[in-house]
């Protein structure tokens, strides 16, 4: 990847870029594709497009008494989980709403965009709302990743295994097998710059870490096949108790989207069904599978603090060599380029950017954490129960969205995200 020198975009430029990117990644989808809700965890694409728009309408535009809302029912239809702004249409039934259709939702987007763009010319407006707008853009980037994971799940439910976007994968990679060792000591964890971050990345605080080592490479598909062939999914002693229940209740015998055809492991990707490449990082595994693999390998998952400290060190090495963070890893550099990475193929290119990596850390508040007042305070804090932290970003994460302190989180049985693992010991 070449180095691009550019000045920092304005908020208005970022607004255009982020909003356009939602269009970019849904351009190839039909109205029917955008209706599917193939699991309660996922949402229809049309809902993502509307909900991200609802966010700006609700938290920015409606603060202005002169604003005319687009449709009175949308406040209810497209609210996800914000109790403070009213009731929510039941999540499992999102796939039963056909109107507004995709065209109607694009009209809604255009209307809200135009209202936002006009107002963003005013410095006073920016002064009042720039933080909320920044949250809204980061929120939309999160939903852009969900759009990719949700449409992947939706298409996989179709026995014809449709293709989202044709792609030729770059297969070259060579794992080093190295481990990076870190001394015990007190370390500072959490966000520290004046740049945007989510509330759950703060406050910056001290932790004590014992000595640890972390693998330089992600666990690969080939390594995971060894686990499978060694009976990994049939040996209860390798699993957490709830994980063993999941294996048996849901008949897990491989990562999500893998099928074995005539002795060859194949996997469904957004480019259709392709052979599993042993060098690629394993992806679409749950916390339970990541944990079982680590136990089988005689290692463990890193804590999120170990991961962050190791990630900081890696970034600082890279910073020394004068490259910007965005050009590392496999992040799609979404804001300024048009190509879309749709499957992780590099297991050895740094800490971040290929797959989200399960850590052993339960998702909890940092000491002194307080969520913001009001409805925005429902963004992160209320989910701090029975979820585990993932670090590192994925091919489906925008590079302008990611930071080393970023905390993603999902329940231990979730597999439809681009989630893999890196070992620690």
- For the CA atoms of 336, 340, 346, 351, the dihedral, rounded to the nearest 10 degrees, stands at 50
Determine if 95 is a binding residue for a copy of itself (CB under 8 A).
yes
Neighbours of 149 (CB within 10 A): 20
For a copy of itself, which is the closer residue by CB, 17 or 202?
202
Q: Considering only 50-58, 113-121, 159-167, 339-347, which stretch makes contact with a copy of itself by CB under 8 A?
A: 159-167
Determine if 214 is a binding residue for a copy of itself (CB under 8 A).
no
- Judged by CB under 8 A, the residue of 9, 162, 272, 372 near a copy of itself is 162
| Per-residue contact string for residues 351-390; x = within reach of a copy of itself by CB under 8 A | ---------xxx-xx-xx--------xx---xxxxx----
Q: Which of 396, 382, 389, 383 is nearest to 421 (CA)?
A: 389
Determine if 243 is a binding residue for a copy of itself (CB under 8 A).
yes
- Judged by CB under 8 A, the residue of 98, 114, 178, 316 near a copy of itself is 98
State in angstroms the smallest separation of the CB of 337 from a copy of itself. Answer: 28
State in angstroms the smallest separation of the CB of 100 from a copy of itself. Answer: 8
Which residues, 293 to 352, sit near a copy of itself by CB under 8 A? none
Q: Considering only 24-32, 119-127, 131-139, 315-323, which stretch makes contact with a copy of itself by CB under 8 A?
A: 24-32
For a copy of itself, which is the closer residue by CB, 24 or 425?
425
Q: Considering only 61-69, 157-165, 172-180, 394-402, which stretch makes contact with a copy of itself by CB under 8 A?
A: 157-165
Neighbours of 346 (CB within 10 A): 24
Determine if 231 is a binding residue for a copy of itself (CB under 8 A).
no
Tokens 């794992």, located at residue: 175
For a copy of itself, which is the closer residue by CB, 297 or 315?
297
For a copy of itself, which is the closer residue by CB, 60 or 238?
238
Determine if 97 is a binding residue for a copy of itself (CB under 8 A).
yes
For a copy of itself, which is the closer residue by CB, 122 or 158?
158
Determine if 242 is a binding residue for a copy of itself (CB under 8 A).
yes
Size of the site for a copy of itself (CB under 8 A): 64
Tell me how far apart the alpha carbons of residues 21 and 281 are, in angstroms, rounded to a whole number.
26
Determine if 273 is a binding residue for a copy of itself (CB under 8 A).
no
Determine if 272 is a binding residue for a copy of itself (CB under 8 A).
no
| 3-state per-residue secondary structure call for the chain | CCCCCCCCCCHHHHHHHHHHHHHHHHCCCCCCHHHCCCCCCCCCHHHHHHHHHHHHHHHCHHHCCCCCCCCCCHHHHCCCCCHHHCCCCCHHHHHHCCCCCHHHHHHHHHHHHHHHHHHCCCHHHHHHHHHHHHHHHHHHHHHHHHHHHHHHHHHHCCCCCCCCCCCCCCCCCCCCCCEEEECCEEEEECCCCCCCCCHHHCCCEEEEECCEEEECCCCEHHHHHHHHHCCHHHCHHHCCHHHHHHHHHCCCCCCCCEEEECCEEEEEECCEEEECCCCCECCCCCHHHHHHHHHHCCCECCCHHHHHHHHHHHHHHHHHCCCCHHHCCCCECCCCCCCCCCCCCCCCCCCCCCCEEEEEEECCCCCCCCCCCCHHHHCCHHHCCCCEEEECCCCCCEHHHCCCCCCEEECCCCCCCCEECCCEC
State in angstroms the smallest separation of the CB of 76 from a copy of itself. Answer: 6
For a copy of itself, which is the closer residue by CB, 231 or 236?
236
Tell me how far apart the alpha carbons of residues 41 and 96 are, in angstroms, rounded to a whole number.
15
For a copy of itself, which is the closer residue by CB, 397 or 419?
419
- Judged by CB under 8 A, the residue of 18, 50, 102, 423 near a copy of itself is 102
For a copy of itself, which is the closer residue by CB, 315 or 365?
365
Determine if 31 is a binding residue for a copy of itself (CB under 8 A).
yes
In angstroms, the Cα distances linking 121 to 17, 115, 127, 405 are 16, 11, 11, 32
| Per-residue contact string for residues 52-91; x = within reach of a copy of itself by CB under 8 A | ---------------------x--xx---x-xx----x--
Site of interaction with a copy of itself (CB under 8 A): 30-38, 46, 73, 76-77, 81, 83-84, 89, 93, 95-99, 101-102, 154-155, 157-160, 162, 184, 186, 205-208, 210, 236-237, 239-244, 287-288, 360-362, 364-365, 367-368, 377-378, 382-386, 412
């Amino acid at each position: 990847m070449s180095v691009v020198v550019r000045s920092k975009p304005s908020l208005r430029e970022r607004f255009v870029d982020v909003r356009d990117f939602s269009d970019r990644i849904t351009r190839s989808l039909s109205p029917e594709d955008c209706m599917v809700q193939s699991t309660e965890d996922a949402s229809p694409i049309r809902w993502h497009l509307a909900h991200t728009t609802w966010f700006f309408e609700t938290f920015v535009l409606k603060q202005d008494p002169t604003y005319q809302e687009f449709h009175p029912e949308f406040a209810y239809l497209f609210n996800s989980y914000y109790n403070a702004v009213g009731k929510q249409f039941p999540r499992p039934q999102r796939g039963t709403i056909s109107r507004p259709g995709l065209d109607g939702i694009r009209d809604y987007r255009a209307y809200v965009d135009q209202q936002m763009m006009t107002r963003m010319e005013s410095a006073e407006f920016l002064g009042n709302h720039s933080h909320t707008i920044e949250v809204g853009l980061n929120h939309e980037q999160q939903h852009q990743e969900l759009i990719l994971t949700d449409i992947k799940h939706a298409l996989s439910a179709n026995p014809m295994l449709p293709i989202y976007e044709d792609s030729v994968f770059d297969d070259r990679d060579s794992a080093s097998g190295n481990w990076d060792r870190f001394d015990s000591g007190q370390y500072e964890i959490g966000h520290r710059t004046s740049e945007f971050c989510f509330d759950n990345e703060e406050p910056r605080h001290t932790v004590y870490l014992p000595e640890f080592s972390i693998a330089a490479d992600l666990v690969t598909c080939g390594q995971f096949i060894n686990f499978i062939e060694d009976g990994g999914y049939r040996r209860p002693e390798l699993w957490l108790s709830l994980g063993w229940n999941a294996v048996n209740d849901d008949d897990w015998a491989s990562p999500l989207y893998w099928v074995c055809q005539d002795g060859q492991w194949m996997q469904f990707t957004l480019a259709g069904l392709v052979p599993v490449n042993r060098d690629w990082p394993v992806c679409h595994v749950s916390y339970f599978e990541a944990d079982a693999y680590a136990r089988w390998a005689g290692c463990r998952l890193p804590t999120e603090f170990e991961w962050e400290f190791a990630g900081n060190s890696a970034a600082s090495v890279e910073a020394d060599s004068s490259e910007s963070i965005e050009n590392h890893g496999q992040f799609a550099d979404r804001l300024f380029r048009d190509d879309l990475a749709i499957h992780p193929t590099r297991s050895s290119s740094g800490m971040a950017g290929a797959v989200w990596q399960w850590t052993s850390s339960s998702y909890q508040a940092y000491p002194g954490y307080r969520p913001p007042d009001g409805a925005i305070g429902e963004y992160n804090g209320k989910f701090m129960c029975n979820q585990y932290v993932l670090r590192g970003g994925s091919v489906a994460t925008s590079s302008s969205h990611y930071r080393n302190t970023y905390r993603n989180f999902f329940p231990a049985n979730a597999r439809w995200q681009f989630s893999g693992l890196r070992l620690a010991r």
